Amino acid sequence: MTRPIHHRAFVDPENHEVWPALNKNQPVALVNGRGWRLSGRVETLSSDRQCLWIQLDAGMGRQLIHHQDGFVLDGYTDIN
């Protein structure tokens, strides 16, 4: 069974930010068009906001996600 995915665009035409500002250790969940979901905590975000390192849940290591890898934040709410 496939659940619908509600994609969110991150490119803001005003300031060209790709990922929103995310705090270190902030919980995140990422999902791609095939429904593959990654969840964990923010380790670091590149200064240009194109790359995001996350520490995956359940001790599964860390993952580098580039903004063009096809992932979007799932259920993101701005905490700033």
Taking only the tens place, the pLDDT of each residue in 41-75 is 999 999 988 999 999 999 999 999 998 888 888 86
Residue 78 sits in a domain of what CATH number? 2.30.30
pLDDT given for residue 69 in this prediction: 87
Q: How far is CA 62 from the centre of its chain?
A: 13
For residue 21, name the pLDDT band (cuts at 50, 70, 90): confident
This prediction's pTM: 0.71
Tokens of 13: 């035409």
Domain that holds residue 38: 1-80
pLDDT given for residue 4 in this prediction: 46
pLDDT given for residue 6 in this prediction: 45
The shares of helix, strand and coil residues in the chain, as percent rounded to the nearest 5, are 5, 35, 60
pLDDT given for residue 28 in this prediction: 93
Average pLDDT, the chain: 80
**Total domains present in the chain:** 1
